Amino acid sequence: MFSNCYRILAAAMLLTASLFAHSLVPKQLAGAPDSFRNKQPEQATLGERSFSAILPVELTEHVLNGKRAFSWHGQLPIDSHQNLKVLVLNQGNPWQIKAWQPGQKRPMLLEDVSETMETGDVEVLNNGIPGAFYQVPEAPAGDWFFSIEADSAMEKAPSDPHGYLLVTTDNNFGIHTFWNNRNFLVGETLELNVRSILRDQEVALSAKPAGSLSAIQAEIVSPSGEKVVLDMTHQDAGAVIGAWQPVEPGKHRVTIIARGLNHFGQPFIRTSLSGIEVLNPSLDWRPEAVQLTNNHGTRLSVWLPAQDYSGENRHFRAYAEVWGTGKDGELKPVNWIGGMVAIQDGMIELGMDSRWLARAGVVSPLVLKNIRLEDPSTYVTLLEQDQVNVVENDIEFPEAARFKGIDRDMLMGPKPASLNENSNKAGGLFLVHGFCGSNSWPGSDFTNFQRFNDPKQNRSHDAFARLIASQGSGMSSYGIVAHSQGGAAALHLYTYYWSGLDNATGNRLIQSVGTPYQGTSLAGLIAAIGDIFGISCGTNQDLTYDGARAWLSGIPSWARQKVTYFTTSETDKWWRWDYCHIAAEFVLDDPEDGTTERWAGQLSGANNGGHKEGWCHTSGMRDGAQVNDSSRNRGMNSNAAR
C-alpha cells in the first residue's frame, strides 16, 4: 500500500513526465564514482590571468586658450623594452595622445614614436569597437607618462569611463585574479584574490607568487552604478585578498589595477577587467525529506523537496553523489546523478538506475553527498548540502549478479519513445554558427545539410543548445558541424537533452572549429567594457575562463568522446609582426585565431582533429575565416554522422 508520502511522489512523477512530454526531454545523467566531481574546480585554477594593463580613461574638463577642453594623464611603469603595444578604445572620438619616454626631455605624439599605427574598428567577439593601435618595437623600460587631449567628451553614465588605454609588451610576468567560490548571490560574502604569476606558471594556491604586489586597487561597479572599492589585505608579498558582499542582483563590472615589482625587481602595472553575474537567493529546500522511490523496470527516482520563490519558470543543473552501506557497515560510493531539472509541485526528481546499487554491492541505508543546484546560464551555486539521509520507500536492493556492465541507460536514462516516433523524418547534417554569428559555413562544401539560424545573438550554452534542438526537430537524426560557441552548445545539447543527435550514425557526431571550450579572455573584456561601448552581443559568462571551467566540470567523458575539434592560428612570417586581429594581442596567448587560443580550444577526452596555420576565427581578420577552409570542410562533411 502506498504511504501518503508515496502517493504525493507518484503524482509529482506524473506531473514531471507531463512537463517534458511535449518539449525537450532532459537526460537523467549518472556516472561511476571515479568521475565524482565532489568539488567544483579549485577556484585558484579559475579566474583571469593578465599580462597587460587596461586602464579606464576618465577625461577631466578644463579651459585651454579660452576654450573647453578635456584631458587625462597617467604614469605607467613599462617593465620590458620589447615590443610596446598601445591600443586606445574611445568610441571613435578624436584624441591626441602623447607619450613621454624615460630619458626624453619632452613628450611626443605617440604616432611619431611608433613604427606602426592603425585606426578603425577593433573586432572583439564579432563586435566592432572604434580605436587606434600603436607599436613601438624598441621601447625603453621605466616610467612612461601618457597624456590624452580632446576637444569634446561623449555623454556617459557617471560610473563609466570615456574609454580605455591598453598597454602590453612581450613580457612574461602578470597577475592572476580569482574568487574563493562561485556563490555569486546577494548577501553572500565573497573573497577576491590577486596573485603575481609568470606566464608558464601553473595557477594554484600552492604556487609561489612570482613577484611582489605593493598597491592593489579593486573596484566593483554594480548594475545601478554604485561603486565599491575593496579593502585589500596582503597575505604575503605576492598575494592580496579582499572581501565583498553584493547587495543587488545583475551584472557587476570588476576592475583591478595592480602595481609592484616583477621577478626582476622592475616596477610594473597590470590590470584585470571582468564581469560577474550576481543572482538573488530565491531557492529553499528541506534536505531532511529526501525520498527514494521505484519508477519502472530498473529505474529509481530520488525526490528532493524544494521551493523556488523567484516567480520564474526555470530549470537548474543538479548534481549529487549516491553512497550506500557496504558489507563492513561503512559508507561506500555508488554513483553520481544529475542533469537539468525543474521544480514541480515542490519536488525535484533525479533519476537513477538500480543497477548502480548492484554494481557497488551496497545495502540500506543510502545517503546523498555534495548535492548542488546551479543556475544553468552562469553555474552560480544556488543550493548546496554536504550530506543528507535518504528515506527509502519499499526499495529492493538488487544483487551484484544483476550487474552486467554499464550501458547507455545507466549513463543517460531511458531514451524517450518520441525520438523513435520521428524515424519517418529525414536525417542530415546540421551546420551551426557561433556566438553573435550568422550563416557562416559555405554550402558548396557540404551535402544533405540544414543550417542553424540565430543571427547576431548572445546566448548561454544552455539556451543555445535548446534552440539547436528546436530548429533541428524536423530531422529524425543529425550530426553537427559547428563553429566557435556552436561546438560547446552542441556538446551541451548531447550531454543534457535527448535530440536527433542520439539517433545519428556515422564516424563523427559533433565536429567543431575554433571553439573556446576552456573560454577566452575576450569574453571577460567584453563583460567589462561592453555596456560602455553599446555592444549588442555583450556578456556571456559561459565563454569566460571562469564560466567555461564551471560548465566543463559537468560534461562527462562519454559525451566528450563524441567530439572532434579543430583549431587554427595566423600564418607566421619572420619579416613581419603576425596577428589575426589587434585586440587579441593584448589579452590572448599565442598561438591563437583572434578569439580562441590553441590551448583553450582543447577539449580533454575528445578527439583532436589537428591545428592548422593560415586561418583566423572570422572574416575581416588578417588571414581567411577558418570556416572557409574547403579542404577541412570536405573532410568533415564526408566523416559526419547523419
pLDDT (mean) for 616-634? 93
Name which of 111-125, 164-178, 255-269 the model is least confident about: 111-125
Q: What pLDDT is attached to residue 358?
A: 93
Q: What pLDDT is attached to residue 3?
A: 44
Name which of 72-81, 377-386, 491-500, 521-530 the model is least confident about: 521-530
Please provide the DSSP assignment of 500-561 as one string. GGGG--SSBSEEEES--TT--HHHHHHHHHTTTTT-SS---GGGSHHHHHHHHTT--HHHHT
**In whole angstroms, how far apart are CA 205 and each of 209, 254, 402?**
9, 21, 45
Residues 6+ apart with CB under 8 A from 397: 354, 357, 358, 362, 363, 364
Look at residue 633 and tell me whether its pLDDT is greater than 60. Answer: yes
pLDDT (mean) for 462-476? 95
Q: What is the per-residue pLDDT across 347-391, written as a single tens digit (0 to 9) for each?
A: 999 999 999 999 999 999 999 999 999 999 999 999 999 999 999
Look at residue 471 and tell me whether its pLDDT is greater than 70. Answer: yes
User: Where in the chain do CATH 2.60.120.380 domains reside?
Assistant: 52-171
Look at residue 11 and tell me whether its pLDDT is greater than 60. Answer: no
Q: What pLDDT is attached to residue 532?
A: 61
| Model confidence band, residue 326 (pLDDT cutoffs 50, 70, 90) | very high
Q: In terms of DSSP bridges, do strands 607-613 and 563-569 run parallel, antiparallel, or are they unpaired? A: parallel
Q: Give dist(CA 213, CA 267) in Å, integer.
A: 10
pLDDT (mean) for 427-432? 95
Q: What is the per-residue pLDDT across 489-503, written as a single tens digit (0 to 9) for each?
A: 999 999 999 999 999
Residues 6+ apart with CB under 8 A from 22: none
Q: What is the per-residue pLDDT across 291-312, written as a single tens digit (0 to 9) for each?
A: 999 998 899 999 999 999 988 8
User: Where in the chain do CATH 3.40.50.1820 domains reside?
Assistant: 424-639
**In whole angstroms, how far apart are CA 308 and each of 282, 283, 284, 382, 471?**
6, 5, 7, 10, 30
- For 510, phi and psi rounded to 5 degrees? -125, 125
CATH code that applies to domain 52-171: 2.60.120.380
Q: What pLDDT is attached to residue 124?
A: 67
Q: What is the per-residue pLDDT across 256-275, written as a single tens digit (0 to 9) for each?
A: 999 999 988 999 999 998 88
Look at residue 38 and tell me whether its pLDDT is greater than 60. Answer: no
pLDDT (mean) for 443-449? 97
| Model confidence band, residue 6 (pLDDT cutoffs 50, 70, 90) | very low
Of 399 and 295, the structure prediction assigns the larger pLDDT to 295
Of 590 and 269, the structure prediction assigns the larger pLDDT to 269
- Give the predicted TM-score (pTM) of the model: 0.90
Look at residue 206 and tell me whether its pLDDT is greater than 80. Answer: no
Q: What pLDDT is attached to residue 41?
A: 67
Q: Which residues lie across from 392 on neighbouring strands?
A: 292
Nearest to 360 by CA among 414, 321, 318: 321
Domain topology for 424-639: Rossmann fold (3.40.50)
| Model confidence band, residue 575 (pLDDT cutoffs 50, 70, 90) | low
Please provide the DSSP assignment of 250-279 as one string. EEEEEEEEEEEE-TTS-EEEEEEEEEEEEB
Q: What pLDDT is attached to residue 208?
A: 67
Sheet hosting strand 607-613, strand order edge to edge: 449-451, 428-432, 478-483, 510-513, 563-569, 607-613
**Average predicted confidence (pLDDT) for the chain:** 88
The runs of H, that is alpha helices, within 392-445 are: 408-412, 417-421
Q: Give dist(CA 569, CA 611) in Å, integer.
A: 8
Q: What pLDDT is attached to residue 17?
A: 43
Q: Give dist(CA 153, CA 94) in Å, integer.
A: 9
